[in-house]
Structure 1
Amino acid sequence: MAEFAVSTVVEKLTNWITEEALLLEGVGDKVEQLRDGLRWMQSFLKDADAEQEKNERLRNWVSQIREVALDAEYVIETYIAEAASHSSWNITAKLINRYWAGKKIGKIQSRVQNISSQKEHFGITSTSREGREGTIASANERLRWWRQTSPNIEEDDLVGLVEDTKALLRQLSSMDLHRRVVSIVGMGGLGKTTLAKKLYNHCDIAKQFDCKAFVYVSKDYRRRDTLQGIIVVVSPNCNMEDLKKLEEEALISKLHELLKERRYLVVLDDIWETEIWDSMQSAFPSGKMGSKVMLTTRKKEVALYADSEQIEPRFLTQEESFLLFRKKAFPGMNEMPSDLENFLYMGLFPEDSSISKTKLIQLWVAEGFLPQQREEAAEGVAENCLNELVDRCMIQVGTLTSLGSLKAVRMHDVLRDFSISKGRGKFS
């Protein structure tokens, strides 16, 4: 992304102005002016980067910004290297070198001004968030952004599940005389848990039931743990130590007693076998009119065995799938911190390859993607970035060390194709 290229160059210029003041003698003011011009340009690049896919002229303009930033880096870096390696030059040679460097910097400044003046043609506005001194968010800022924008299964705009949500709301809201079972059925990854959690937290559901509990069952079902998990939610004041002393049948009786005079909703997420329902159903009395048990399962026979009404979420269309990916991986492209864009770089690795965590971090740092921050070294920034990509399911865990920490990662072929498509021209 052009915003990332400019932010990296601004960071380098800032460091050089401070650390190479003697070598920049005579052109230091020009370098500062160039740095400030690029920094101001950076303030409106968030909008431009997000919109460029829709407009070829805008895409060319953004490309010019990236090129002028890289040219600025090359000119200043070359001047510093020559000044350092020829410190024994006589005064005349130094003045000549300084003169030509000043001319080149002046030309780049003119290009920056010319490019910046064109932004009005594209309706691009600056964002004050990018006007801060640091060019990449600090560790705390990244963490704050991450918590605010992490995928949230309770969000209102569930992709492709609106009609299923409405149908299930009607079923859960019905005032049946006896306890009723409702099931969400479908293959893994279809959105069953997302839908169940959305309904569980729906404001209308909260008003309707006296108590509710959501427990994850899974293949590794343990009846004792599941029963205790429900009890502590519907009866928060119960003593956990006392529960641990009870036999499983006593836990069944206790839960039955807690629910029999209440209108309740219990969600059993990811039930694999009919035997699980057999072992649990006696804990759920008829209760007050309108009580419900909701199951999510991959197997239709489980839903049929529980004598439940079934909802089977449909597969998403290609457009809905891509929209869901954008919502999960990039919740607002305009708010994506630059270091998450290192995802695009990973498309350079061969398909289905195991990518060493250490090697990847070294490459990111060597490419200058993650300049050192005040709080932490570039390697620490890179590791945080890698963890964020794993958490967003944008890359997969490959292998772990004997201590359980990340050793290598992999990239799904579909996401690799996406990274190649988005990163084309940025790493060539």
Structure 2
Amino acid sequence: MAELAEPVVSFILERLSNLLIEEGKFLRGVSDQAEQLQTELKLMQALLKDADAKQHDDAVIREWISQSKDLAYEAEDLIETFAFKVGSRRRGGVVNVLKRYTCIFKECYMRHRVGVDIQGLNTRVAKLTKRFRDYGIRTIMEKEGPSSRQLQSIRRTYSHVEEDDFVGLESDVKMLVQNLVSENGTSHYRVVSLCGMGGLGKTTIARKVYNHPNVRRHFDSFAWLCISQQWQTKEILQGILVKLIPETKEEIVRSWNDDKLVRQLYNIQQNKRCLIVLDDIWSTDAWECIKNAFPTREKGSKILVTTRNQNVATHIGPNGFHHEPRLLSNDESWELLRKKALRERYNHGHEDIVKLEELGMEMVKHCGGLPLAVVVLGGILSTKHHFSEWEFVYQHIKFYLGRGERIGQREGEIQRILALSYYDLPYQLKPCFLYLGIYPEDHGIRTDSLYQIWMAEGMVSKEDQIEGESMMDVAERYLGEFVKRCMVQVKLKDEPGYRKFKSCRLHDLMRDLCLAKGRDENFLKVNDYRHNDNLELIE
């Protein structure tokens, strides 16, 4: 995918630029070819960024990106070899000077060969880029493909679809309801948010809050809207207004322009107590486009936000109440699984009920307290009627949590939902995230060594460096982005110091996502010897 090819091209461009500056004399005769390669790679880089931004699962795009990556690595090998030869000739002394004069013809030949190799690479890069554009790839990427529409449909949420089996998060609901209905004191907030990793149950909690009797009594009007990653300003405004004043639905959709939509939504919140839920909002850009429709001064209306990004929550409500739901305990996870998988067995009796319970208690540990994983596992087990079938699921638990039951399915519901956070990362952060998969399960990763490895692998970009920052500072900002997006868990340093993160770790299922994406991208090689992952980074 583009997210791994583009950083390689960026790294090569940086090396090539340095060589053009530092080795001008030696490059005499081949500098034109080197500069042309630089130009072609910059064009390829721009196209790769576009491909990454669209995130479409299109076979043409995947093939072009694969070929781009191969050419990028070939260019890297050529430049590394060239840099080594340049460095070798720099060893000073009279002997080296004499040797240089006696080997003048050899150097001319080497320069000629370098020029030929670069020119050949130039031609291939240019042809590949031209084919990519000639096939109308930008048109393909600008269309919303079936996979994107399907994913958007999967993620759409509804306020009335409540979860019957709700375990362990009742105190979260109570606390959020209290902060929404309060009109005075320190708990008086205009914005209340739920922030956390995918699958944590944010939407489920928000539904419970939205439909809570105290909330229903307190507010006059209600609107629930799921904000997709492919949001449109007008659709968001229309969607909210249709819920708040359903009697004017036809007029809203047919004739109200953006200005009227903003003005009417603003006025309604001024005159009524409204609760508006913005579910699964991903970007601050989405809020910036609709914020003028929301009063900044408290008039009784409130906003409830669910998001995976802490920056989004604090941007919408800088002085709001922000809450991150916790993972379920082992006991809570088992209670939820028991309700999902064994309810019918309890009702009708089952000869193996004790053995099923024992096996279920072991399997639920692999869910790591993530409610989504428990629910998915419960759904799978509810279709298994014999102990031998449960035993088979247990023996292949990683497969079932990763892909469900469909043969040939690339990823199941858990990975699809967790992967949304991965796809939303800036392109330069994706290889840094995938690198975390190389560490063992439940392993605390020391941040200082991690930063150094990222830098050594060329994953930390100088383009992201702010004046006065070291590359280690940039690497820590990278990790900070993962923290803000609730993708990694961190420990802070006890002692005061410049760097704040002491170590980090991945949730087990997030690590599984790392490994799956790493395999897809040919980034990690995984050899599994009886549950022990032997990992190798593919350079």
Q: Fold conserved (TM > 0.5)? A: yes
Offset at residue 30 of structure 1 (A)? 1.2
Distance (Å, rounded) in 2 between the aligned partners of 1:2 and 1:200: 39
Q: Does 1:123 align with 2:136?
A: yes
Distance (Å, rounded) in 2 between the aligned partners of 1:126 and 1:21: 41
Pairing partner for 1:372 from 439, 443, 462 = 462
Distance (Å, rounded) in 2 between the aligned partners of 1:234 and 1:36: 48
Partner SS, residue 43 of structure 1: helix
Deviations 1:288-329 (A, max 9, x none): xxxxxxxxx99xxxxxxxxxxxxxxx9687866555545555
Query: What corresponds to 1:191 in structure 2?
Result: 203
Offset at residue 106 of structure 1 (A)? 1.6
Distance (Å, rounded) in 2 between the aligned partners of 1:266 and 1:366: 48
Q: Does 1:386 align with 2:479?
A: yes
Distance (Å, rounded) in 1 between the aligned partners of 2:34 and 2:470: 25
Offset at residue 45 of structure 1 (A)? 1.7
Taking only the aligned residue pairs, the percentage that are identical comes to 29
Distance (Å, rounded) in 2 between the aligned partners of 1:97 and 1:342: 36
Whether contact under 8 Å (2:33, 2:118) holds in the other structure is yes
Partner SS, residue 191 of structure 1: helix
Distance (Å, rounded) in 1 between the aligned partners of 2:304 and 2:40: 58
How many residues align structurally? 293
Pairing partner for 2:71 from 68, 71, 85 = 68
Whether contact under 8 Å (1:3, 1:42) holds in the other structure is yes
The aligned runs of 1:6-45 (5 Å cut-off) are 6-45=9-48
Query: What corresponds to 2:119 in structure 1?
Result: 106
Deviations 1:195-236 (A, max 9, x none): 55895996639836656899xxxxxxxxxxxxxxxxxx9997
Partner SS, residue 80 of structure 1: helix
TM-score scaled by length of structure 2: 0.46
TM-score scaled by length of structure 1: 0.57
Corresponding letter in the other structure for 2:483: V
Larger Rg: 1
Whether contact under 8 Å (2:493, 2:501) holds in the other structure is yes
Distance (Å, rounded) in 1 between the aligned partners of 2:89 and 2:139: 42
Partner SS, residue 397 of structure 1: strand
Distance (Å, rounded) in 2 between the aligned partners of 1:345 and 1:62: 20
Query: What corresponds to 2:146 in structure 1?
Result: none
Query: What corresponds to 1:77 in structure 2?
Result: 80
Offset at residue 159 of structure 1 (A)? 3.6
Pairing partner for 1:420 from 470, 495, 515 = 515
Whether contact under 8 Å (2:431, 2:459) holds in the other structure is no
Distance (Å, rounded) in 2 between the aligned partners of 1:47 and 1:266: 37
Whether contact under 8 Å (1:361, 1:383) holds in the other structure is yes
Structure 1: which 5+ runs fail to align? 128-155, 167-179, 182-186, 215-232, 237-261, 270-296, 299-313
Query: What corresponds to 1:287 in structure 2?
Result: none
Name the Cα RMSD after superposition. 4.3
Whether contact under 8 Å (1:53, 1:59) holds in the other structure is yes
Distance (Å, rounded) in 1 between the aligned partners of 2:114 and 2:304: 70
**1:7/1:124 CA distance change after superposition, 3 Å:** farther
Offset at residue 86 of structure 1 (A)? 2.1
Query: What corresponds to 2:157 in structure 1?
Result: 161
The aligned runs of 1:98-247 (5 Å cut-off) are 98-120=111-133, 122-125=135-138, 159=155, 161-164=157-160, 189-192=201-204, 194-195=206-207, 204=244, 207=268, 210=272
Greater relative CO, 1 or 2 (CA 8 Å, sep 6+): 1
Query: What corresponds to 1:410 in structure 2?
Result: 505
Distance (Å, rounded) in 2 between the aligned partners of 1:235 and 1:346: 43
Distance (Å, rounded) in 2 between the aligned partners of 1:79 and 1:2: 22
Whether contact under 8 Å (1:48, 1:58) holds in the other structure is yes
Corresponding letter in the other structure for 1:104: D
